Every structure is written in C-alpha cells, then in structure tokens.
Amino acid sequence: MPSPPLHFISALAFVSLAALACLEEQPAETATLGREPAPQYTDAAPAAPARAAAEPQGLAPDEVTVVTVARQAAPSVVSVQRDGGVGSGVVIRRDGIILTNAHVVGDARQVRIGLADGRELDGQVLGRDPTVDVAVVRVNGTELPVAPLADSDGLLVGQTAIAIGNPLGLERTVTRGVVSAINRSPRGFGLDGLIQTDAAISPGNSGGPLLDSRGRVIGINTAVIAAPGASGLGFAIPINLARDIADQVLTTGQIRRVYLGVDYRDIDEPLADQFRLPVREGVILTVVGEGTPAARAGLRQGDIVTSLDGKPVRQGGDLRRAIRGRKPGDDVRLRVLRPEGERVIVARLGEVTIR
C-alpha cells in the first residue's frame, strides 16, 4: 500500500520539501548579515507565576501544568503572514529573533509578524534552510516575551507535549498530548529525526512551538499525516536542530552544510516488486548531480545504496542523518548494488553554503 499523504500544516502554498531535502547542495536565499556575538537564548524555565495571578483552582495536577504552560508560553507565540497565508512562529530572543518553518516564509524576504499584544511588525527573513524546514526571522523589538529552549536530545517517549499555534487563524490555540516517538523519518517526507506527537495540530500551526511540561520549547511543529483512519500523527523539528540553524545564521549570516550531491527514492515492497529489485529496503539513486562529490566518486543513477560506513541505510532518513553527522572533506564508504554485483564506493563529502 502506498504511504498516506503528508500535509504541511501551514495555510500557505508550499513547494514540496521532499524534492529539496535530498539535494543538500541546493542553495536557499538568506539576507546578508554582518557577524554578531554568539546568540544568547533563554534556556531556563520561566519563573513560576505569582500566586496572586489567578492560580488555577479545583483542577487536577496535569491540568494545572497545561494551564501554567499556556499562560507562560502563549505570549511568545506569533503569527507569520505572507501572501495572504498565515503560519506560526515563536520568539526565542528578547531582541526580536523568531523561529518558524522555511515553508511558512517561502521565498519572501519580508513577512508580517503578529505579536500577542496585538502589534503587527515587519519581519526580515534572515535565513532559511528548506532541507530541515527551519527559518529565522527578525523584528525590531526589545524586551519581547520569549520561550525558553529545552534540550531535545533528552526527550523521552510518553512525556507531555503541548502545542501552541494559530490553526485556521485561531490565534494561540493550545492542545495537549505526549511525545509519541522520537527520531521519526516518515517516508516521502524529506525530513528525518522528527518528534512525533499526538497533540492536535492543524493548518496554521506550522512554525509554532511544541513544549514540555515546564514550558520549554522541544520542537517546531511542521507537518501532520492525514489519511483515512489516521489521527494524532503530527511531527515537529527538534529544537536542537532549529537552534543550530539559528546560531549559524546569526553568527555568520549563512548556513553551511555537508553534502553528497544525490537525489533518491526510498525502496519499499511495491517498488521492489514493480522493478524486480534485489532488495526491499534501501535507497535507489535517481539523480547524481554533475560535478558533485557523488559523481566524482563514481556513483551513478540506478545505484542502490544499502549502507554507509557499515551502518544500514534502510530509507532516505538513514542516509541524510549519516551524512549530516559528517564534516566536509570526510570520506564515506557506500555499499551499492548494481546489475553487475555489489561494490563499495568511497566518496569525499563536500560543503555547500546556503546564502
């Protein structure tokens, strides 16, 4: 059976990331920046509200947690508007730095930001990386309410997950669920290492925060699977990855990424049956970019990649994750299948600057 469709959860038109994520050398535009000091984020949980501030009464402890997080975090959630569509974002620095999705801002250099206090400000898109669906926006502001950032590497399946965003234009809607899984790489999506959650998310939630029970951002909501009989299948980009993109943009004005220079398709049972492939998992190369590290190493269209440096490649997410963990200039050993047999190809990874 084919995989169910994945829908990005912004009301904005969007060019599929799946076509972009595999070609890691494809540049995306960002504004030119001078160097800045290393970014300073709020990583500590916000102070508990004063008891006099209408502390919830008569609620179960888990309900009090959600109410407290909503009160603390909602002021940092913004709307992001361009071309008549609306998505979400979250303020991560008091001087006006906002994280959202690359597909929310699209190719725009300027967007309109709606703050919780009712103000609307012009936002400058400082940088965007479609391969991980993260964008960084700046507004002219001081002492803006911010959401503290968690360490997403420490997430546990089953812990509380709270989503806040602007679904269908309904500003700062709060939903609750759990972290259903971590390190998800849905087929046909073009993103990997995602947080899966059953907290309800809908069109317009894209770019909004996914929070833990202490009100810290653990991810940036990006997509939901919509299929008959399927519900509670939402996905978020881990905040550690989004923070890394923001750090690069704010300190260097650009994003540097290692790349191999291929596009590919996941192998599944229907594809293997249709083309009588010798394996039922792995990736088959559909494009080998001219002049790329892949081409120089001798990789070619139709190669089936089954492992990288001895670790199995069962789907595209495995390949992307393995490459992203390397540095430019590193050599990687790819085991590939061809009609004439199996062979190992050594490729030296390159670097692309996303400006």
- Which residue numbers are catalytic? 103, 133, 206
**For 272, phi and psi rounded to 5 degrees?**
-60, -40
Closest CA to 102 of 232, 255, 324, 251: 255
Dist. CA 99–CA 105, nearest whole Å: 11
**For 33, phi and psi rounded to 5 degrees?**
-125, 150
Contact (CB, 8 A) for 258 and 328: yes
Contact (CB, 8 A) for 206 and 221: yes
Dist. CA 184–CA 222, nearest whole Å: 13
Closest CA to 154 of 248, 65, 244, 239: 239
Q: 208 vs 130, 163, 201, 221, CA distance in Å?
A: 17, 7, 10, 6
195: tokens are 């947080």
Other residues' Cβ atoms within 10 Å of the Cβ of residue 171: 17
Closest CA to 195 of 173, 171, 172, 219: 219
Residue 52 exposure: Cα atoms within 13 Å on the Cβ side? 0
Dist. CA 290–CA 158, nearest whole Å: 45
